[in-house]
Amino acid sequence: MYAMKYMNKQKCIERDEVRNVFRELQIMRGLDHPFLVNLWYSFQDEEDMFMVVDLLLGGDLRYHLQQNVHFTEGAVKLYICELALALEYLQRFHIIHRDIKPDNILLDEHGHVHITDFNIATIVKGAEKASSMAGTKPYMAPEVFQVYVEGGPGYSYPVDWWSLGITAYELLRGWRPYEIHSATPIDEILNMFKVERVHYSSTWCKGMVALLKKLLTKDPESRLSSLGDVQSAPYLADMNWDAVFEKALTPGFVPSKGRLNCDPTFELEEMILESRPLHKKKKRLAKNRSKDGTKDSCPLNGHLQQCLETVRKEFIIFNREKLRRQQGQTSQLLDTEGRAGSQTQGKLQDGCNNNILGHACSRGCSS
């Protein structure tokens, strides 16, 4: 089973969100990891753009915080490890997520975490850095605000590890280490980072406190910001990282299977507010097409029509199953060619000095 997200083209154009949708699609089609929400298909029709992704029934961590779930140190320790593997994977693809927070971390039915929402993620190559103000204020690293106010070289992957630290602290304590909200002025936030000290609960073990302190180091150069850094933390010395990757460790919190792990009131409001519900699409599109054929039809303004046509042409259609089949066929072809090549190679080696090592012989025979 999958989950489907759909976005109205006209609304995206009016809100200037098309670029974000395309960026998310571009990034997600190249990713496949056990701790991400993976894209399976993308397609479009006249009205909407569709993304089909992993179905995760455990709800997001924000919902569970609002339900006053008490996350144990053991549960948060495993979350940190799973998320560290996901962030390291993103880093390999030069991706900064820029919005790691409980709202964007979904649980599967067994309680493992999955990062979602890549629409403000960015790709940086080599020594490149990002410089735009992007993210959710309470989870944004100090250097993001500093770049915005003071300019400078920009920021990079360490911002996601700061967000991981804020998220882990909030899961353990029920509130964040800094009293920052979306309306908090930036100069006030920067002053907070300068003068306030983070308070760690005396009930937390020393290893967890030491790990959080390293994730919440204000200087990005000194912050833990790679999988290697996290794995070298004494607190995680006993972790079996292969077992973490394979989801072989049991999470400390498993969502209830007998209930809806989201706010039904909010979901119902979303359905009521949806002006173009999906279940009425077929009838609506047929009506629109019949209108288009009449003389008194009211056409969309020229600029909007042009934008819609651009979206239609540039939209990325994706099919992961088809891609996997093609990759499987390619690997089979390469394997067949490899076997044929090795047989030819064996015949060539038969004509060479049998005392010469195989790899040396192959170079000598092919020249």
Kind and range of the H or E run holding 363: helix 358-366
Task: Provide the CATH number for the domain around residue 117.
Answer: 1.10.510.10
As a whole number, mean pLDDT of residues 29-54 equals 95
Q: Considering just the CA atoms, what is the radius of gyration of the chain in Å?
A: 26
List the Cα angle 89/180/69 in 5-degree steps.
Answer: 65
Domain boundary among 319, 343, 360: 319
pLDDT for the residue numbered 345? 46
Q: Is there a domain that residue 331 lies in?
A: no
Phi/psi of residue 203, nearest 5 degrees:
-85, -15
pLDDT for the residue numbered 327? 83
Domain boundary among 245, 277, 308: 245
Q: Is there a domain that residue 341 lies in?
A: no
Give the mean pLDDT of the chain. Answer: 86
List the Cα angle 304/278/135 in 5-degree steps.
Answer: 65
As a whole number, mean pLDDT of residues 136-141 equals 98
In the chain, % of residues over pLDDT 90: 71
Write out the residue range of the structural domain in which residue 240 sits: 61-245
Residues 210 and 239 occupy one common structural domain: yes
Residues 114 and 235 occupy one common structural domain: yes
pLDDT for the residue numbered 74? 97
Residues 176 and 236 occupy one common structural domain: yes
As a whole number, mean pLDDT of residues 216-244 equals 97
d(CA 131, CA 154): 5
Residues 171 and 289 occupy one common structural domain: no
Residues 29 and 66 occupy one common structural domain: no
In the chain, % of residues over pLDDT 70: 81
pLDDT for the residue numbered 98? 97
Q: Is there a domain that residue 91 lies in?
A: yes
Q: Is there a domain that residue 151 lies in?
A: yes
pLDDT for the residue numbered 367? 30
Residues 45 and 171 occupy one common structural domain: no
Is the per-residue pLDDT at 12 higher than 80? Answer: yes
Residues 96 and 237 occupy one common structural domain: yes
The pTM of the full predicted model, rounded to 2 decimals, is 0.82
Residues 140 and 280 occupy one common structural domain: no
Residues 33 and 141 occupy one common structural domain: no
- Annotated catalytic residue, options 48, 99, 117, 160: 99
- Helices and strands: H and E segment counts in the chain: 15, 8
Using DSSP's 3-state secondary structure scheme, residue 320 falls into helix
Residues 136 and 115 occupy one common structural domain: yes
Domain boundary among 204, 219, 245: 245
Tokens of 183: 């309306």
List of residues 6+ apart from 211 with CB closer than 8 A: 80, 224, 230, 233, 235, 236
pLDDT tens digits for range 286-330: 666 666 555 455 556 888 999 999 999 999 999 999 988 888 877
Q: Is there a domain that residue 31 lies in?
A: yes
Per the CB < 8 A criterion, the answer to whether 224 and 233 are in contact is yes
95-96 and 122-123: which strand pairing? antiparallel
Q: Is there a domain that residue 104 lies in?
A: yes
pLDDT for the residue numbered 152? 80
d(CA 21, CA 285): 23
Count up the domains in the chain and report the number. 2
Span of 76-80, 226-230, 290-294 with lowest mean pLDDT: 290-294
Longest dimension (CA), the chain: 88
As a whole number, mean pLDDT of residues 84-96 equals 97
Active-site residue, 187 included: no
Q: Is there a domain that residue 230 lies in?
A: yes
Q: Is there a domain that residue 339 lies in?
A: no
pLDDT for the residue numbered 359? 33
Per the CB < 8 A criterion, the answer to whether 130 and 122 are in contact is yes
d(CA 4, CA 281): 15
Task: Provide the CATH number for the domain around residue 299.
Answer: 3.30.200.20
Residues 97 and 147 occupy one common structural domain: yes
Q: How confident is the model at residue 257 (pLDDT cuts 50, 70, 90)?
A: confident
From 95, 31, 92, 123, select the one nearest 320 (Cα to Cα).
Answer: 31
pLDDT tens digits for range 331-359: 777 766 665 554 444 433 333 333 322 33
Per the CB < 8 A criterion, the answer to whether 173 and 217 are in contact is no
Kind and range of the H or E run holding 14: helix 9-14
Residues 90 and 158 occupy one common structural domain: yes
